[in-house]
C-alpha cells in the first residue's frame, strides 16, 4: 500500500481523470496542460512572464475513501505530500513556512461532480504571526499581508474548528462600524490586526504551517461526510463512496490593491447563451468575496476599462478553453498586480435556451460539429422551452412549495372537482384543478384545466404522470391544506375558495401569487435548427401518443412522424358518448349490445376521420378498447349510497338504479388492472372490437389521403388470444375490401412478462409490437403505479434501493431486459417485425437511449415531449457511433446493460 500513488502534480493530470482527481483537480490539470505550465508573457509582450495556472498538486479521491473507511490518512500520504510540497517550493521559488517571503497555498476540495458550496476550501495556508510580518515586508504591502492573515484565521476557524461564520462576520461588521467604513476592503491595518487577535480567541489557531496544512487537508476530507454534503448527495443522487479530492495550490492574490482583482466568468452569457461573456469581479478582493455578497460585484465588461490587459487575456483564454472542452465554460480567475491567473474551469451549467443558442452558434463559428453541438445539450432541460413560464421579474411571489411535477406555468380559478373543471373549461374559463390527490376519474378534468395542484404525492404520482403526459403544468405534494367538504384551500392562514384565482409554477414546484405574468413558449429558429440536425442523425422514429385531432395536429407541428398510440377509450368518455356506452354495458344480451354499439359507431368513425386527416399519410396505431368496463359506470360505493337513499325515498328511478347497481356489482373486480380488460374484453364481447374496426375502416376510406392504420390488440398474454382477435379484424376489414398488410396492419401491445417470454409465438400473428412499458413495469416489478409512488418510492430512493422511479426512466436491467428479450425472439420469428414503445418512457431521454440500443424502430410519447425525444434519439445515435461497438448491444440480450 505504501507505494500507492496518492498525489498527482497538476502537470501530471488531465480532464479525463475526474474520478481520481475530482472535477476541479482534473480541470486545473487540463488547464495547466492546455495553457502551459511554463511562464507566459502577457498579450502586450511585456517582459513580465508568469504561468497562467498557479502550480500545485491533487490528493486523490482514493485517499479520501481510505480516510473515510479507516478514520486515518493512508500510509504514505504524508511523505508524498511532503515531496509534492518540495516540488512546489522549487517551482514557486519560495519556501512554505518561511518567515520572510513564505509560500502560501490554498487547500481546495473538489469532488467528481461539482457540489457548489457543499465542501470546503481554505486560502492563505502558511501564514502565522511571524510570517505575516515577513510577507508585509516582502510585498511592501502591510494591509494586504494582514488582510490575508485575517482571512486565513477566519476560514481556518470556520472550516477546521467549526466556529460559526456569524461570529467572524459579526466582529467584522462591528469593526467596520467603529472604523466608519462601508466595506471590508477599506478596513485599515490596525483594525485587521485587532480582528486577527479577536479571532484567535475563538479557538486555537496552529502557528506551525505544516500543522495548518495537515489539519486543512483533513478538514476537506471530513467535509465530505459533513451533514451539508451528505444531504446534498441524497438530493442529487451522488454516491457517498466517491470521496473528494484535495487540491493544494500556490496562492495568487487578488487582494493586493487596486491593480488586483478576483472574479468569475462564463465564456458566453449564462442566461441567453449570447456570445458575449458574462460574469462578475471585484477589485482588491479574494476568494468567495464575489459570490458571498460582502460587496456588490461589478460586471465583467467593466474589467476591460479597469484592467484592459487582464480582460483581453481572459477573453482569449476562455475561447481556448471552449475549443478544448468543446463546450461553454464557467471559470474562476484572479488578477494579481495586473497579471491574470486561471483558478478553475468547468462546463457551464445553463438553462435550455442558452444551451440551444450555444449549440447553434458553436456550429456556425466552426467550433463544434453538429454531432458535438448536439451532445452539449441536456435533453431533460428542454422541457422548459416547451411550456409557458412566468416572468420572474414581474409580480412573481411564492406562496407555498411543492414538487415540480409537470413543467410550465398556469393561472386560473380554483375548482375542486373534475366535473367543475370540465364545465368551466368548456365555457372557456381558465381553471386550476385542486385536489388532495387525483384518480382515474379526475382525468377528464385534466384536459379541461390549465394546471393541476395537489397536496399529496410526488413526481410519479397519478397527478404528475397524467399531467406530464398531457403537457399540463402540475405541482404535487404542495404545502397547502385542502378541505373538499368546505370547498376551501388554506395556505399559511390565507383561505382560497372555489373560483378564487391561483397560479402554479410546475417548473419550480411552487404555488405563486396569481398576479404573476405568463410568457408563452415558442420553438424559435435556433431550436428548430437543432431539431433538424437531430432528425438527420437519429435512427429511431418519433411518434406521438394522441387521441384527438387537436393533439395530433400539434404533435405534427412538433415533428411527430405518426401516432404510436391512440387510446380509443377516451372517445367513449366524452359526455355525448357515455350514456351510449353505459347502455351497451347494461344490455342484457349480445343483440342489445350490438344495438347500442350501432349508435356509437358513427361517433367513433367521426373521431377517426379527424385523427386521420390530421395525420395524412402517416402511420396511426389504434389500440382497441383496453380499460375494464367499470370505468364507464358510476363508482360502486357512491352508487350504493345513492340506491340506499332512493330506497328510503322510494324515488321513481329506483328500479333503474337497482338494475344499474346489480350490473356494477356483477362486473366489479377486486383488482381490475389485472382483470377483465384488454384483449380479454375483445374475446368476451367481440362486438365491441367489431364496431371499432368498422369505424376505423370506414374512416380510412373516407379521407382523401389515407393514413396507415395499425390496429393494436392490448394486453395479450397467449398467442391464441391474438390469433382470435386478428381473425376478427381481418374478417371485418374484409367487408370493407381492406386488405391486411396493404391497407392496414395488425399487431399487439407487449405489456405482460409472459408476452415477452413467448414473443416468438406471438410474432407469428403480429405485424408489429408496441411495448406498453407502463403496464410492463407494473406487471414485471409487481408495482401498482398509482400506489407505490406516494407510499414507498421516496423511501426506496432515500435508502438507495433505486435511484429513480421505474415509471420515469425504464428499469434497464429488469424491465428493459424483457423488452430486449421480446425484441430479440420476436425478430427471430419474424425479421420484418416492426418494434415501437408507447409508454411514458418514450419521452424520457435516458429511456430513449435505451430503446435505441435495444434496436427498436420508434418511440412514441406525448405531444410536448416530441422535441425532447427527437434530440435524445439523435444523442443516442451519436453516442453509439462514438463509443462504437463497445456499448453496441442490439436486441440480443447477451451483452452488458
Active-site amino acid positions: 462, 838
Of 152, 30, 78, 246, the residue nearest 86 (C-alpha): 78
Q: What whole-number distance in Å separates Cα of residue 313 and Cα of residue 319?
A: 10
- Indicate the residue among 262 and 777 with the shorter CB distance to Mg ion: 262
The binder of 112, among ligand ADP, Mg ion, none, by C-beta within 5 to 8 A per type, is none
The interface region with Mg ion, picked from 342-350, 372-380, 467-475, 692-700 by CB under 5 A, is 342-350
Determine if 250 is a binding residue for Mg ion (CB under 5 A).
no
- Going from the C-alpha of 128 to that of each of 78, 197, 202, 473, 875, the distances in angstroms are 22, 12, 16, 58, 54
Query: Among the residues of 333-470, which ranges form H helices?
Result: 352-364, 370-375, 418-426, 443-448, 462-470
The binder of 359, among Mg ion, ligand ADP, none, by C-beta within 5 to 8 A per type, is none
- Indicate the residue among 334 and 455 with the shorter CB distance to Mg ion: 334
Q: Which of residues 428-467 bind Mg ion (CB under 5 A)?
A: none
- Going from the C-alpha of 614 to that of each of 344, 558, 842, the distances in angstroms are 53, 13, 21
- Indicate the residue among 277 and 509 with the shorter CB distance to Mg ion: 277
Of 536, 548, 520, the residue nearest 608 (C-alpha): 548
Residues that bind ligand ADP (CB under 6 A): 54, 106, 108, 121, 123, 249-252, 262, 287-288, 332, 334, 343-344
Q: How far is the CB of 184 from ligand ADP (least distance, A)?
A: 16
Q: What whole-number distance in Å separates Cα of residue 219 and Cα of residue 229?
A: 13
- H/E stretch holding 135 reads helix 131-139
- In the block, cell 508524498 appears at 80
- The binding track of 749-778 with respect to Mg ion, each residue x by CB under 5 A or -, is ------------------------------
Phi, psi of 77 (to 5 degrees): -65, -45
- The binding track of 650-669 with respect to Mg ion, each residue x by CB under 5 A or -, is --------------------
> If you ran DSSP here, which 8-state letter would residue 40 be given?
B
Phi, psi of 837 (to 5 degrees): -135, 135
- H/E stretch holding 647 reads helix 636-649
The binder of 121, among ligand ADP, Mg ion, none, by C-beta within 5 to 8 A per type, is ligand ADP
Q: How far is the CB of 236 from Mg ion (least distance, A)?
A: 17
Phi, psi of 531 (to 5 degrees): -65, -35
The interface region with Mg ion, picked from 246-254, 305-313, 336-344, 665-673 by CB under 5 A, is 336-344
Helices and strands (DSSP H and E) totals, the chain: 35, 33
- Indicate the residue among 287 and 509 with the shorter CB distance to ligand ADP: 287
- Indicate the residue among 24 and 870 with the shorter CB distance to Mg ion: 24
Residue closest to Mg ion when measured from CB atoms: 344
Q: How far is the CB of 321 from ligand ADP (least distance, A)?
A: 16
Q: Which of 267, 344, 438, 605 binds Mg ion (CB under 5 A)?
A: 344
- Indicate the residue among 67 and 281 with the shorter CB distance to ligand ADP: 281
- Going from the C-alpha of 739 to that of each of 259, 647, 770, the distances in angstroms are 83, 55, 21
Residue 576 CB: number of other CB atoms within 10 A?
7
The binder of 108, among ligand ADP, Mg ion, none, by C-beta within 5 to 8 A per type, is ligand ADP
Cα radius of gyration rounded to whole Å, the chain: 33
Q: Which of residues 594-633 bind Mg ion (CB under 5 A)?
A: none
The binder of 196, among Mg ion, ligand ADP, none, by C-beta within 5 to 8 A per type, is none
Q: What whole-number distance in Å separates Cα of residue 168 and Cα of residue 166?
A: 5
Q: Rounded to an integer, what is the distance from CA 877 to the centroid of its chain?
A: 20
Would you say the C-alpha torsion 566, 572, 575, 576 has a positive or negative sign? positive
Q: What whole-number distance in Å separates Cα of residue 759 and Cα of residue 750?
A: 9
Q: How far is the CB of 503 from ligand ADP (least distance, A)?
A: 35
The binder of 287, among Mg ion, ligand ADP, none, by C-beta within 5 to 8 A per type, is ligand ADP
Query: Among the residues of 736-865, which ranges form H helices?
Result: 753-757, 759-763, 773-781, 785-791, 793-798, 815-829, 845-853
Beta strands 518-519 and 389-390, pairing class: antiparallel
- Indicate the residue among 286 and 381 with the shorter CB distance to ligand ADP: 286
Q: What whole-number distance in Å separates Cα of residue 648 and Cα of residue 654?
A: 10
Q: How far is the CB of 104 from ligand ADP (least distance, A)?
A: 8
The binder of 389, among ligand ADP, Mg ion, none, by C-beta within 5 to 8 A per type, is none
Q: How far is the CB of 821 from Mg ion (least distance, A)?
A: 47
- In the block, cell 467584522 appears at 172
- Indicate the residue among 123 and 810 with the shorter CB distance to ligand ADP: 123
SS3 state at 62: helix
Q: What whole-number distance in Å separates Cα of residue 715 and Cα of residue 117?
A: 50
Q: How far is the CB of 323 from ligand ADP (least distance, A)?
A: 23
In sequence order, the 6+-apart residues with CB closer than 8 A to the CB of 471 are: 386, 387, 406, 408, 862, 863, 864, 865
The interface region with Mg ion, picked from 244-252, 332-340, 554-562, 858-866 by CB under 5 A, is 332-340
Task: Please give the size of the binding site for Mg ion, defined by CB under 5 A.
Answer: 2
Q: How far is the CB of 509 from ligand ADP (least distance, A)?
A: 26
Q: What whole-number distance in Å separates Cα of residue 843 and Cα of residue 862?
A: 7
Q: How far is the CB of 242 from Mg ion (least distance, A)?
A: 18
The interface region with Mg ion, picked from 344-352, 511-519, 686-694, 696-704 by CB under 5 A, is 344-352
Of 674, 590, 602, 668, the residue nearest 629 (C-alpha): 668
- Indicate the residue among 250 and 344 with the shorter CB distance to Mg ion: 344
- Going from the C-alpha of 293 to that of each of 14, 280, 285, the distances in angstroms are 33, 11, 12
CB 749 within 8 Å of CB 817: no
- Indicate the residue among 335 and 679 with the shorter CB distance to ligand ADP: 335
The binder of 867, among Mg ion, ligand ADP, none, by C-beta within 5 to 8 A per type, is none
The interface region with Mg ion, picked from 199-207, 338-346, 661-669, 878-886 by CB under 5 A, is 338-346
The binder of 7, among Mg ion, ligand ADP, none, by C-beta within 5 to 8 A per type, is none
- Indicate the residue among 287 and 477 with the shorter CB distance to Mg ion: 287
Phi, psi of 483 (to 5 degrees): -120, 100
Q: How far is the CB of 871 from ligand ADP (least distance, A)?
A: 30
CB 793 within 8 Å of CB 460: yes
CB 478 within 8 Å of CB 404: no
- Indicate the residue among 110 and 509 with the shorter CB distance to ligand ADP: 110
Q: How far is the CB of 213 from ligand ADP (least distance, A)?
A: 14
- Indicate the residue among 281 and 527 with the shorter CB distance to ligand ADP: 281
The interface region with Mg ion, picked from 247-255, 327-335, 511-519, 734-742 by CB under 5 A, is 327-335
Q: How far is the CB of 249 from ligand ADP (least distance, A)?
A: 4
Q: How far is the CB of 228 from ligand ADP (least distance, A)?
A: 12
Q: How many CA atoms lie within 13 A of 585 on its CB side?
A: 25
Of 456, 416, 451, the residue nearest 432 (C-alpha): 451
User: Where do contacts with Mg ion occur on this chain (CB under 5 A)?
Assistant: 332, 344
Amino acid at each position: 500500500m505504501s507505494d500507492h500513488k496518492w498525489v498527482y502534480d497538476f502537470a501530471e493530470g488531465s480532464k479525463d481523470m475526474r474520478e481520481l482527481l475530482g472535477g476541479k483537480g482534473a480541470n486545473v490539470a487540463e488547464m495547466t496542460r492546455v495553457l502551459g505550465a511554463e511562464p507566459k508573457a502577457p498579450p502586450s509582450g511585456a517582459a513580465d512572464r508568469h504561468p497562467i495556472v498557479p502550480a500545485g498538486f491533487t490528493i486523490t479521491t482514493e485517499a479520501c475513501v481510505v480516510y473515510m473507511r479507516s478514520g486515518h490518512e493512508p500510509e504514505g500520504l504524508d511523505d508524498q505530500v511532503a515531496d509534492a510540497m518540495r516540488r512546489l517550493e522549487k517551482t514557486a521559488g519560495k519556501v512554505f513556512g518561511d518567515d520572510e517571503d513564505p509560500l502560501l497555498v490554498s487547500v481546495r476540495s473538489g469532488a467528481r461532480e461539482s457540489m457548489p458550496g457543499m465542501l470546503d476550501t481554505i486560502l492563505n495556508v502558511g501564514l502565522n504571526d511571524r510570517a505575516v510580518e515577513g510577507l508585509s515586508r516582502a510585498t511592501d504591502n502591510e494591509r494586504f499581508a494582514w488582510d490575508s492573515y485575517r482571512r486565513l484565521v477566519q476560514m481556518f476557524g470556520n472550516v477546521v474548528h467549526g466556529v460559526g461564520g456569524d461570529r467572524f462576520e459579526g466582529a467584522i461588521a462591528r469593526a467596520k462600524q467603529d472604523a466608519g467604513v462601508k466595506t471590508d476592503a477599506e478596513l485599515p491595518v490596525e483594525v485587521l490586526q485587532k480582528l486577527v487577535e479577536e479571532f484567535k480567541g475563538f479557538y486555537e489557531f496552529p502557528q506551525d504551517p505544516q500543522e495548518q496544512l495537515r489539519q486543512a487537508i483533513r478538514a476537506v476530507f471530513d467535509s465530505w461526510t459533513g451533514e451539508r454534503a451528505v444531504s446534498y448527495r441524497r438530493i442529487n443522487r451522488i454516491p457517498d463512496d466517491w470521496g473528494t479530492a484535495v487540491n493544494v495550490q500556490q496562492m495568487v492574490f487578488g487582494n493586493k490593491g487596486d491593480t488586483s482583482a478576483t472574479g468569475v466568468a462564463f465564456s458566453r452569457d449564462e442566461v441567453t447563451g449570447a456570445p458575449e461573456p458574462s460574469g462578475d469581479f471585484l477589485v482588491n478582493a479574494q476568494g468567495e468575496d464575489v459570490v458571498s455578497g460582502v460587496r456588490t460585484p461589478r460586471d465583467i465588461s467593466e474589467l476591460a476599462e479597469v484592467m484592459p490587459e487582464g480582460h483581453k487575456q481572459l477573453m482569449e483564454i476562455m475561447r481556448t478553453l471552449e475549443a478544448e472542452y468543446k463546450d461553454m465554460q464557467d471559470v474562476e480567475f484572479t488578477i494579481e498586480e495586473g497579471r491574470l491567473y486561471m483558478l478553475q474551469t468547468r462546463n457551464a451549467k445553463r438553462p435550455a435556451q442558452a444551451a440551444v443558442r450555444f449549440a447553434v452558434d458553436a456550429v456556425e463559428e466552426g467550433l463544434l460539429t453538429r454531432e458535438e453541438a448536439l451532445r452539449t445539450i441536456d435533453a431533460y432541460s428542454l422541457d422548459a422551452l416547451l411550456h409557458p413560464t412566468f416572468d420572474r421579474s414581474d409580480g412573481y411571489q411564492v406562496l407555498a412549495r411543492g414538487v415540480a411535477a409537470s413543467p410550465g406555468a398556469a393561472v386560473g380559478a380554483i375548482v375542486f372537482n373534475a366535473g367543475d373543471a370540465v364545465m368551466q373549461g368548456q365555457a372557456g374559463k381558465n381553471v386550476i384543478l385542486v385536489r388532495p390527490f387525483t384518480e382515474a376519474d379526475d382525468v377528464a378534468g385534466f384536459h379541461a384545466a390549465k394546471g393541476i395542484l395537489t397536496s399529496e404525492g410526488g413526481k410519479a404520482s397519478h397527478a404528475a404522470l397524467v399531467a406530464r403526459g398531457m403537457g399540463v403544468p402540475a405541482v404535487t405534494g404542495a404545502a397547502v391544506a385542502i378541505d373538499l367538504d368546505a370547498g376551501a384551500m388554506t395556505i399559511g392562514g390565507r383561505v382560497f375558495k372555489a373560483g378564487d384565482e391561483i397560479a402554479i409554477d410546475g417548473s419550480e414546484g411552487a404555488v405563486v401569487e396569481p398576479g404573476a405574468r405568463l410568457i408563452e413558449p415558442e420553438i424559435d429558429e435556433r431550436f428548430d435548427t437543432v431539431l433538424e440536425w437531430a432528425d438527420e442523425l437519429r435512427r429511431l422514429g418519433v411518434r406521438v401518443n394522441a387521441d384527438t385531432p387537436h393533439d395530433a395536429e400539434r404533435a405534427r407541428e412538433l415533428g411527430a412522424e405518426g401516432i404510436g398510440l391512440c387510446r380509443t377509450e377516451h372517445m367513449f368518455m366524452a359526455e355525448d358518448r357515455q350514456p351510449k356506452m353505459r347502455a351497451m354495458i347494461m344490455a342484457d344480451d349480445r343483440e342489445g349490445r350490438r344495438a347500442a354499439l350501432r349508435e356509437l359507431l358513427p361517433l367513433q368513425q367521426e373521431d377517426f376521420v379527424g385523427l386521420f386527416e390530421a395525420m395524412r399519410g402517416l402511420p396511426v396505431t389504434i389500440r382497441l378498447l383496453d380499460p375494464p368496463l367499470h370505468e364507464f359506470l358510476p363508482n360502486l360505493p357512491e352508487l350504493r349510497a345513492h340506491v340506499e337513499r332512493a330506497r328510503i325515498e322510494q324515488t321513481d328511478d329506483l328500479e333503474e338504479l337497482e338494475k344499474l347497481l346489480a350490473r356494477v356489482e356483477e362486473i366489479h373486480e377486486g383488482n381490475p388492472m389485472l382483470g377483465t380488460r384488454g384483449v380479454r374484453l375483445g374475446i368476451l364481447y367481440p362486438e365491441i372490437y367489431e364496431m371499432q374496426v368498422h369505424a376505423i375502416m370506414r374512416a380510412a376510406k373516407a379521407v382523401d389521403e389515407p393514413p396507415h392504420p395499425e390496429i393494436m390488440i392490448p394486453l395479450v398474454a397467449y398467442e391464441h388470444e391474438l390469433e382470435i382477435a386478428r381473425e376478427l379484424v381481418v374478417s371485418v376489414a374484409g367487408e370493407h375490401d381492406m386488405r391486411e398488410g396493404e391497407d392496414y396492419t395488425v399487431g399487439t401491445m407487449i405489456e405482460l412478462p409472459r408476452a415477452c417470454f413467448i414473443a416468438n409465438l406471438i410474432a407469428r400473428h403480429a405485424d408489429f409490437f408496441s411495448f406498453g412499458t407502463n403496464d410492463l413495469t407494473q406487471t414485471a416489478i409487481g408495482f401498482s403505479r398509482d400506489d407505490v409512488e406516494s407510499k414507498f418510492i421516496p423511501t426506496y430512493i432515500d435508502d438507495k434501493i433505486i435511484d429513480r422511479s421505474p415509471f420515469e426512466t425504464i428499469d434497464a436491467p429488469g424491465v428493459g431486459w424483457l423488452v430486449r428479450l421480446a425484441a430479440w425472439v420476436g425478430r427471430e420469428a419474424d425479421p420484418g417485425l416492426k418494434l415501437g414503445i408507447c409508454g411514458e418512457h418514450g419521452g424520457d431521454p435516458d429511456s430513449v437511449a435505451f430503446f435505441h440500443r435495444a434496436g427498436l424502430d420508434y418511440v412514441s410519447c406525448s405531444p410536448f415531449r416530441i422535441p425532447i425525444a427527437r434530440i435524445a434519439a439523435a444523442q443516442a445515435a451519436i453516442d453509439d457511433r462514438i463509443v462504437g461497438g463497445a456499448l453496441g448491444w442490439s436486441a440480443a440480450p447477451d451483452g452488458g446493460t
